């Protein structure tokens, strides 16, 4: 006599979607001169935090990336520490 393996029902947990800090404040342009905000998105060594770590959406992460690169070019932020 064959027995069937016991299957468990999987329950899907729906996680609440949270907005990134820029979408919450309805920011259209991320200013490269705002060093306090950009500094929070960099590590101690000057690397950018990933989207998962910073909590930014894809569009805002691209804007942040451009602002950080612009600030580095203007010598407001270091390339490396």
- Return d(Cα 24, Cα 20) in angstroms, integer: 6
Predicted TM-score (pTM) of the model is 0.76
pLDDT at 42 over 80: yes
| 5, burial (CB in 10 Å: exposed 0-12, middle 13-18, buried 19+) | exposed
The whole-number average pLDDT for the span 39-52 is: 94
Asked if 30 and 63 touch (Cβ cutoff 8 Å), the reply is yes
Three-class SS state of 48:
strand
Please give the pLDDT value at position 76: 95
């Amino acid at each position: 006599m064959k027995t069937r393996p016991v299957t468990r029902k999987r329950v899907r947990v729906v996680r609440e979607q949270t907005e990134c800090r820029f979408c919450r404040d309805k920011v259209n342009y991320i200013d490269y001169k705002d060093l306090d905000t950009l500094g929070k998105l960099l590590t101690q060594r000057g690397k950018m935090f990933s989207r998962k770590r910073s909590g930014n959406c894809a569009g805002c992460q691209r804007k942040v990336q451009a602002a950080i690169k612009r600030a580095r070019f203007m010598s407001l932020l270091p390339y490396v520490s």
